[in-house]
Amino acid sequence: MRRTIAGLALLALAGCGANGGAGASGGGTPTTGGTIIYGHVQEPPCIFGGWIQQAYISRQVLDGLVTMDEDGSVKPWLATEWTLSPDDTKYTFTLKEGVKFTDGTPVDAEAIAWNFDYWENHGGNGTAKVSIDPYFKGAKAIDATHVEISLHRPYPPFLPLITQGYFGIQSPTAFKSRGEKENCEKPIGSGGFVVKEWKHGEEVVLAKNPDYNSWPATAKHEGPAIVDEVRWKFVADGVARYASLSTGESHVVYEVPTVNWKDAQSRYQTIRYITPGKPVSFFINTQVGPFSDKLVRQAFAYGADRKAAVEAGFHGVIPYEGNPSVSQATPGYDAEVAKAYAYDAAKANQLLDQAGWTARGANGTRTKNGQPLAVKLVYGAGFIFTHEGATVLQVLQEQWKQIGFAVELVPATQAELWGGKYSDPSTFDATPSYWTSPSSAILWIVWRPSTKDNPNFNNRSFFNNDTLAKAIDQANGEADPAKANALYGEAQKIIQDEAAGIGLYTQNSTYAVAPNLKDVWLEKSQGEPVFTDAYFVK
């Protein structure tokens, strides 16, 4: 039903295109002031945290120590420069002088050290923690403007990883003196905006920080935000969100419905960001069930035309990703690895025969020793997978059926999935998910072997492989990027060869921006929108 409606809305919207954009790239006279209305999808529980939905908005309020440039290099932000000790384990950051949090306290070395300690040791941010564990040792202030961060071992991905929004610096004074509620709703940073008001269920009003003096090196202008306010609205429905651009009720919208993408390109400025890190790919349960046999996993990978299904399901807007472990936007991505397991039904059938699944049941399902080749595919319905994603899964299910798999699609609610209902190896055979990260070091986070003393619950394929672990570990400590990437490539190849994961598509962020609003851009590490440089033209 939703697809039909979206199509109807598209027609209707196209009908009133005459007064829409056209001059998307045209000039106009820049103005100062004004209010940007931004249509976002999900409302986070707090403005700061380890979920990307929180990073989107905390990026507006909190500054980071460093930031990532378009080419993936790390550039100054609150830190103007940094040095690395000869043994590659101590970073000394020099802080910009005269920067103050919006509560008036200084952004000094003590404050930076406190933030690292908060994330790492006091539950401040689980995602920040897992990004730098187990390398992080400690942070200490040398003097007011120099902070030293020491690691247990060399870890070159440290710098790119701390460019993520999870590493936004907060005022320790404000944090310690206020209650949980204030810290949740109005974190105090030194960013270009401050949280003025959060109308729950409706919008967060961000007001310009008039004293802003700590813009990143990647900023498009120097100085405080040009506009006065950003009204960060939550509009969960895609049709309404996209339509609000055409009526002038919003200036920027997030997650343009793929069915509207072509229309958006012709009328607005569009930005598509392919998220680095783990793409949307299947974890394959290598411990329990039919997929404990590598041949069956490989047959599953060969057995459906994933590329065609993704292209059809997402109207050609979202790219197919054949590499299950890192996406094409990630430094160190191995494009060769992504080519494996192109659709080949004959090969899939041959592998299944070889694995002993030779008999066929009444409905065409293969059997072995009387057991049917049944696979339980659990997916997060409505939050990891949109209805478009679910359509892709249904197409694949039909193709897998042809080669003898009985795939049961199990839509899981957020409460079930996040509550841990499908955590145990006995509860599923395959499950798709993604994890954004600007570095191939994500491989260690996800694929580190799980041991009794140090379990890795992120490794949802339950795939423990020492050669793989060694390759990633070496890569993480390798100072030469070429060598590191070769090792990361080796790791990707092992995961692909073993079919411990199966690729599907890249996680994307799409934005459409009204023609009269210029210089809205996305930061590089996670694709968060930046509004401090944006201005309206007349």
Partner 1 sequence: MRRLLFKVVSSVVVVVAAASITFFAQLAVPGDRATALMNLQTGQEKLWTEQELAPLNQKYGFDDPLVVQYLDYVTGLFRGDLGTSYTQKRPVTEVIGGQLLPSLTLTVAALAVAWLLAVGMTLLTVKRGRILSSLGSAWEALTASLPHYWVGVVLLVVFAVQLRIFPIIGGTGALGTVLPVLTLAIPLAGFLGQVTRDEFTHVLEQPFVTTARTRGMSDLGVRLRHVLRHAVLPAVTLSGWALGALVSGAVIAENIFGRPGIGQVLVTAVNTRDLPTVCGIVLVVAVIYVVANLLVDLVYALIDPRLAAR
Per CB under 8 A, 3 contacts partner 1: no
CA–CA distance from 305 to each of 238, 301, 324, 402, 503 (Å)? 28, 9, 15, 12, 11
Cβ distance to partner 1 smaller for residue 160 or 380: 380
Of residues 409 through 438, those in contact with partner 1 by CB under 8 A are 413-423, 433, 435
In the list 21, 49, 279, 529, the residue contacting partner 1 (rule: CB under 8 A) is 49
Per CB under 8 A, 15 contacts partner 1: yes
Sign of CA dihedral 337, 338, 343, 349: positive
CA–CA distance from 459 to each of 47, 148, 245 (Å)? 28, 32, 41
Rounded CA-CA distance 170/193 in Å is: 13
Cβ distance to partner 1 smaller for residue 45 or 86: 45
Candidate ranges 245-253, 267-275, 329-337, 497-505; the one touching partner 1 (CB under 8 A) = 245-253
Rounded CA-CA distance 349/399 in Å is: 12
In the list 20, 21, 39, 489, the residue contacting partner 1 (rule: CB under 8 A) is 39
Of residues 353 through 412, those in contact with partner 1 by CB under 8 A are 380, 383
Residue 338: DSSP 8-state:
H
Cβ distance to partner 1 smaller for residue 214 or 439: 439
Per CB under 8 A, 237 contacts partner 1: yes
Per CB under 8 A, 7 contacts partner 1: no
x/- map, 150-189, partner 1, by CB under 8 A:
------------------------------xx-xxx----
Residue 455: enclosing H or E segment and its boundaries? none
Closest separation between CB of residue 455 and partner 1, Å?
Answer: 6
Q: Count of CB atoms within 10 A of residue 40's CB?
A: 23
Per CB under 8 A, 53 contacts partner 1: yes
In the list 118, 119, 158, 234, the residue contacting partner 1 (rule: CB under 8 A) is 234
Per CB under 8 A, 287 contacts partner 1: no
Residue 38: enclosing H or E segment and its boundaries? strand 35-40
Closest separation between CB of residue 131 and partner 1, Å?
Answer: 11
Sign of CA dihedral 249, 252, 253, 257: positive
DSSP 233-274: EE---HHHHHHHHHTTS-SEEES--GGGHHHHHHHSEEEEEE
In the list 5, 22, 142, 144, the residue contacting partner 1 (rule: CB under 8 A) is 5
Rounded CA-CA distance 335/329 in Å is: 11
Using alpha carbons, select from 97, 68, 92 the residue that is nearest to residue 82: 92
- The number of residues that bind partner 1 (CB under 8 A) is 65
Cβ distance to partner 1 smaller for residue 53 or 150: 53
Cβ distance to partner 1 smaller for residue 27 or 45: 45
The amino acid present at 236, given as its one-letter code, is A
Rounded CA-CA distance 310/503 in Å is: 11
Closest separation between CB of residue 12 and partner 1, Å?
Answer: 4
Rounded CA-CA distance 147/115 in Å is: 12
Per CB under 8 A, 25 contacts partner 1: no
Answer for the pair 230, 40: CB distance below 8 angstroms, yes or no: no
Per CB under 8 A, 496 contacts partner 1: no
Per CB under 8 A, 288 contacts partner 1: no
Question: What are 40's two structure tokens?
Answer: 């976002």
Per CB under 8 A, 235 contacts partner 1: yes
Per CB under 8 A, 1 contacts partner 1: yes
Rounded CA-CA distance 394/380 in Å is: 14
Per CB under 8 A, 132 contacts partner 1: no
Reply yes or no: is the peptide bond before residue 106 cis, omega within 30 of 0: no
Cβ distance to partner 1 smaller for residue 331 or 380: 380
Candidate ranges 43-51, 66-74, 86-94, 361-369; the one touching partner 1 (CB under 8 A) = 43-51
Per CB under 8 A, 457 contacts partner 1: yes
Closest separation between CB of residue 174 and partner 1, Å?
Answer: 15
Of residues 196 through 215, those in contact with partner 1 by CB under 8 A are 199-202
Residue 124: DSSP 8-state:
S
Strand, helix or coil at 346? helix
Which residues are registered as beta bridge partners of 517?
A: 536
Of residues 61 through 120, those in contact with partner 1 by CB under 8 A are none
Per CB under 8 A, 503 contacts partner 1: no
Strand, helix or coil at 454? coil
Rounded CA-CA distance 280/263 in Å is: 26
Q: Which residues form the interface with partner 1 (CB under 8 A)? A: 1-2, 5, 8-9, 12-13, 15-16, 39, 43, 45-46, 49-53, 123, 125-127, 130, 180-181, 183-185, 199-202, 233-237, 239-241, 243-244, 246-247, 249-250, 380, 383, 413-423, 433, 435, 455, 457-458, 460
